[in-house]
Amino acid sequence: MHNPIPVNTPLLDGNELKYLTECIKTGWISSEGPYVVEFENIFSKYVNREFGIAVANGSAALDIAVKALDFAPGDEIIMPAFTIISPAQSVFNAGAVPVLIDSDPVTWNMDVSLIEARITPKTKAILVVHMYGLPTDMDIVLELCKKYNLKLIEDAAEVHGQTYKGKMCGSFGDVSTFSFYPNKHITTGEGGMIVCNDKKLAERCKRLRNLAFEPGRRFVHRELGWNYRMTNMQAALGVAQMERIDSHILRKREVGKLYLDGLSQLKNIKLPLLKIHYSENIFWIFGIVLDPKGGANAEAAMSKLAKLNVGTRPFFYPMHLQPVFLENGLFKNEKYPISEQLSEFGFYIPSGLGISDSEIDCVIQDVVAVLS
């Protein structure tokens, strides 16, 4: 049996150590250090936005982005049912109401054809989450935002460097957010980024990440914010990672293609699309969806792979089934069958930037053995 293959291994073989050492030697280890602004400038320019606001993590970015848009209690924000909890949590904590859309069974993104039917006079925004390596179909979303005068919040946490019809993901929203968790295309350990083109909105986001300190008298507050600052050491990692982002994207696509070639023999499973008419998959993760008629769910397959030293993770759990939201009176009797199916039968296998080709071969052999 081979050694354990974790579901993600980050790649830190550039200038990360050099820049971190500089932070330590100079004493600039807090959020006041120069790497923070440098990282904000590099990243915002990369995704074609005027302003970048570095924060503690992707969830913090969403908290700030939603609050900065000043929704009123009861305002509705349309978003996918199938996603991590962070977007719905940010909407709920802001006093707004998340309105859910089921998934497209092919791309695993929000099914944009279902959005317009859910728009009401209370709808104030659409929150897009680009899912697992392919973007949401943005043309329809942008048309609806224009038609109904809606704000667009773009969660691009999983698609660093991805494009939609040649335009950078993260460049579409009134405000867009990213995560730099270790399983992302670039990482700062933890960390996130808010990007936008509105100077006043950017300044508001900067205040909210810093306990809403006001200019002038620092400890006089007109509103409540958070301590969601990114440290100089995290930003130093980010600067080093951005120097390698193009090669990271190439490697992710190589890993995806190796898995597609190696697993194409398997029947009764769905593999990720290599490309769709508007984008080529960037393979944030490599997901597998089992045939519901096959008799086994993701949990059973993951258990078998664990015994073979292959790390896995389940797909996200749908928002309408989350106990915390049900206990708060949301989503009663709502059904989103594609999202439920993805959650029950979907999981992903090791595909971090640090994985070797030989490890990929081992994973392919084990997945074939388990799922044949």
Confidence at residue 335, expressed as pLDDT on a 0 to 100 scale: 98
Q: Residue 257: how many CA atoms within 13 Å on its side-chain side?
A: 8
Q: How confident is the model at residue 215 (pLDDT cuts 50, 70, 90)?
A: confident
Paired tokens of 149: 């005068």
Cα dihedral value 114, 119, 124, 128, nearest 10: 0
Question: Would you call 293 helix, strand, or coil by DSSP?
Answer: helix
Mapping DSSP to helix (H, G, I), strand (E, B) and coil, where does residue 304 land? helix
pLDDT for the residue numbered 88: 98
Phi, psi values for residue 74, rounded to 5°: 90, -10
Q: What is the pLDDT of residue 135?
A: 98
- Across the range 137-155, mean pLDDT stands at 98
pLDDT band, residue 1 (cuts 50/70/90): confident
Beta partners for 99? 78
Evaluate if residue 214 carries a pLDDT over 90: no
In the chain, where the domains are located: 16-242, 245-371
The pLDDT tens digits of the residues spanning 237-288 come to 999 999 999 999 999 999 999 999 999 999 989 999 999 999 999 999 999 9
Residue 223 Ramachandran class (φ > 0 left, ψ -120 to 50 alpha, else beta):
beta
Kindly tell me the number of DSSP H helices and DSSP E strands found in the chain.
12, 15
CATH class of 16-242: alpha beta
**pLDDT on residue 167:** 98
Find all residues with CB under 8 Å of 136, minimum gap 6, and list them. Answer: 107, 109, 110, 112, 128, 129, 130, 164
Q: Tell me the mean pLDDT in the region 174-201.
A: 98
pLDDT of residue 217: 81
Q: Is the pLDDT of residue 300 over 90?
A: yes
Does residue 296 register a pLDDT over 90?
A: no
Q: Contact 260/319 with Cβ under 8 angstroms?
A: no
- Determine what percent of the chain is predicted with pLDDT higher than 70: 100
E-strand stretches of 86-134: 97-101, 123-129
Q: Which two tokens stand for residue 343?
A: 């959650």
Report in angstroms the alpha-carbon separations of 339 from 71, 161, 180, 204, 205.
27, 26, 25, 35, 32
Secondary structure of 328-364 as H, E, C letters = CCCCCCCCCHHHHHHHHHEEEECCCCCCCHHHHHHHH
pLDDT at position 294 is 82
Indicate whether 320 pLDDT > 90. yes
Quote the crossing angle between the two packed helices 245-263 and 357-371, to the nearest 10°: 30
Mean pLDDT (whole number) for 329-350: 98
Helix (H, G, I), strand (E, B) or coil at 247: helix
For 88-102, what is the mean pLDDT? 98
Average pLDDT over residues 125-148: 98
**Closest listed residue to residue 163, CA positions, set 275, 44, 287, 288:** 275
- Residue type for 315, please? F
- The per-residue pLDDT of the chain, averaged, comes to 97
pLDDT given at position 173: 97
Residues 6+ apart with CB under 8 A from 31: 210, 229, 230, 231, 232
User: What percentage of the chain has pLDDT greater than the value 90?
Assistant: 97
Distance between CA atoms of residues 53 and 63, nearest Å:
13
User: Distance between CA 372 and CA 367 in Å, rounded?
Assistant: 8
In sequence order, which residues have a C-beta less than 8 Å from that of residue 143 and are 6 or more positions away? Answer: none
pLDDT at site 175: 98
Given the candidates 3.30.70.100, 3.90.1150.10, 3.40.309.10, 3.40.640.10, the CATH classification of the domain at 245-371 is 3.90.1150.10
Of residues 26, 56, 33, the one with CA closest to residue 236:
33
Question: Kind of pairing, strands 163-164 and 123-129?
Answer: unpaired
